[in-house]
Structure 1
Amino acid sequence: MSANASVRLAGLALKNPILTASGTFGYGLEFAPYGDLQALGGIVVKGLSLKPRLGNPMPRIAETPCGMLNAIGLQNCGVEKFLRDKLPLLPHATTPIVANLYACDADEFAELAGVLSAAEGVAALEVNISCPNVKAGGIAFGQDPAMAGRLAEAVKKRAGDKPVWVKLSPNVTDIVEIARAAVLGGADALTCINTLTGMAVDIRTRRPRLANVIGGLSGPAIKPVALRCVWQVCRAVSAPVIAVGGISSAEDVLEFILVGAHAVQIGTANFMRPDTAFRIAERLPALMEELGVENLDAYRGSLSS
């Protein structure tokens, strides 16, 4: 038996379900020394804003048991420099390149979507709805169903023929409610989940370990939460789900596909071993053959109750 690891995701044909998570793989070029970028199902680049951002002050990363906290503050070169200097060097002809969008109000998100939708080589737009909405007192778009729906609609209107993915925050009472609102607003797919809010302190200095005090928790510690969220969202909406949260092996990948995910993103594991995504992409077909899984479409969502 020859296992087929290819998938179709909201109009995109992926050679395998292995993508990279925004903010953990740079612009993709930084990881070229560790593997063949064309071997991946897709590359999600770090969050892009209309103008360059310096991000938060140091320190902005702290290790935690089975994970890490980050408060990078979405440092990036800005969309203009990305399109001019980064995108042309990526293998966009063979590997879908997904742009992750960061902004602070719906109009800015829409403007950014308009710029990126016109760019040849950008395959899809991923919207970070964990951003604070400055026009609504700083509440995150992803914490209010109405705002999440309106934001998805605003981006979709400017996205042209590019699929729109909405990246859900787990820092909510009911992630299913937000997922439904995003799909009703026009989201073609959902990325599930972003980081959990956390903090760490130093008992000797009596200071927080992040200059920003709080940050986003990621890594193996959040995998059970991510798995639960993906399972719930897959049962509630028809749009495909891209799973992210603590994935570091081919076995992890199949767990998320078993509960309904179409694809996965590798994040924090890239910091532990920069070749992780490449190794998982290589290992997955062999694991599928071991388990008698001929293709992922038949395996997806086959969890027995």
Structure 2
Amino acid sequence: MNLSVNIGGLELENPVITASGTFGYGVEYAEFLDLNLIGAITVKGLSLRPAKGNPPGRVWETPCGMLNAIGLQNIGIDAFIKDKLPELRKYDTKIIANFFGDTIAEYAGAAGALSAADGVAALEMNISCPNKQAGWIAFGTDPALTEKVVTAARRATKLPLIVKLSPNVTSIADMARAAVNGGADALSVINTITGMAIDIETRRPRLSNCVGGLSGPAIRPIAVRMVFQAAKAVTVPIIGMGGIMTGGDAIEFILAGASAVAVGTANFVNPAASVEILKGIKDYMIRNHIDDINTLVGGIIC
């Protein structure tokens, strides 16, 4: 049984990845599962300088999901390279560094700094951040801005470059094409969907930021649809994500066009979810006499 996949030049032993922001810096989960068993670890989003994030409350459980407004709290790229990466290098699992910025220059600087670090196998760009130089319009909601910022990061790195797309757009296909035109080697589809919850007794929002990102099984049908549409629009590999809880969920994304999957909110429910999802993928392949995971990609009949 062949489970290996190639994600824009990144060779993985299997298609299961942990999603950024849900798995810490990876080392925090080492006591709950064997990190060598998963295809890759995507660390929480990193910026050139440390970020405190938003004040509490920052997380709120919703039906079949959760809202979060962490605010991309992180220790900064320098501290990550110094304090976290040496521990991660002890494992065979590939390390994907997720990064973000407020300006195009910050994106390029972050990509360059992470590319010089020993142990980083690929980069994932979070383009859902607002652009300080363009009236705080999110990079990932404007095709022209997307192409421009991806082009800048592409010039700063030779590592495989994965662009994480925002679902808060009119056309995911247009955003996928813009990212690929800018030089993306692969796409992550999708990031969280903007949502809100209100305490009706106090009449105040549940999150200090008022709005946050909705994740979990509630968004899975939307994510599957967007993976399907992105896969029709571009030829680069896609990492599907959005509410994957079981091996069957993962297969659904793969049939829609994803070459790999990322496990996010499930990690909060079950720290070993990624390993159990991988087993579910294997069981499906055995049950259906499939000897190569890649033959399933885009295999939907419609």
TM-score of the superposed pair, with normalisation by structure 2: 0.98
SS in 2 for 1:99: strand
SS in 1 for 2:30: helix
Q: CA deviation at 1:93?
A: 5.8
SS in 2 for 1:59: coil
User: Which amino acid is 1:294 matched to?
Assistant: D
Q: CA deviation at 1:92?
A: 6.3
- The aligned runs of 1:273-284 (5 Å cut-off) are 273-284=270-281
1:71: which partner in 2? 69
User: Which amino acid is 2:94 matched to?
Assistant: P
Unpaired runs of 5+ residues, structure 1, are none
2:17: which partner in 1? 19
SS in 2 for 1:34: coil
Unpaired runs of 5+ residues, structure 2, are none
Asked if the contact 1:93/1:121 (under 8 Å) is kept, the reply is no
User: Which amino acid is 1:32 matched to?
Assistant: A
SS in 1 for 2:23: coil
Aligned mate of 1:233, from 224, 230, 235: 230
User: Which amino acid is 1:274 matched to?
Assistant: P
Asked if the contact 1:126/1:167 (under 8 Å) is kept, the reply is yes
2:101: which partner in 1? 103
1:179: which partner in 2? 176
Is 1:296 aligned with 2:290? no
Change (3 A) 1:21 1:27: same
Cα-to-partner distance string for 1:27-81 (whole Å, 9 max, x where unaligned): 0011111100010000000000011111000000000000000000000000000
- Runs of 4+ residues deviating >6 angstroms: none
> 272-281 or 56-65: which moved more?
272-281
User: Which amino acid is 2:220 matched to?
Assistant: K
Aligned mate of 1:148, from 138, 143, 146: 146
Q: CA deviation at 1:286?
A: 2.1
SS in 2 for 1:47: strand
- Name the CA distance, whole Å, in 2 between partners of 1:225 and 1:40: 25
Asked if the contact 2:17/2:274 (under 8 Å) is kept, the reply is yes
1:270: which partner in 2? 267
1:52: which partner in 2? 50
- Name the CA distance, whole Å, in 2 between partners of 1:196 and 1:92: 35
> 173-182 or 90-99: which moved more?
90-99
Q: CA deviation at 1:22?
A: 0.4
Change (3 A) 1:92 1:179: farther
- Name the CA distance, whole Å, in 1 between partners of 2:161 and 2:184: 5
SS in 2 for 1:125: strand
Aligned mate of 2:244, from 228, 247, 257: 247
Asked if the contact 1:130/1:168 (under 8 Å) is kept, the reply is yes
Q: CA deviation at 1:91?
A: 4.0
Q: CA deviation at 1:282?
A: 2.9
- Name the CA distance, whole Å, in 1 between partners of 2:244 and 2:280: 14
2:60: which partner in 1? 62
What is the number of equivalent residue pairs in this alignment?
Answer: 302
TM-score of the superposed pair, with normalisation by structure 1: 0.97
- Name the CA distance, whole Å, in 1 between partners of 2:274 and 2:298: 23
Identity %: 54
SS in 1 for 2:45: coil
Asked if the contact 1:4/1:285 (under 8 Å) is kept, the reply is no
Asked if the contact 2:216/2:243 (under 8 Å) is kept, the reply is yes
Is 1:138 aligned with 2:133? no
Q: CA deviation at 1:137?
A: 0.3
SS in 2 for 1:184: helix
- Name the CA distance, whole Å, in 1 between partners of 2:257 and 2:153: 26
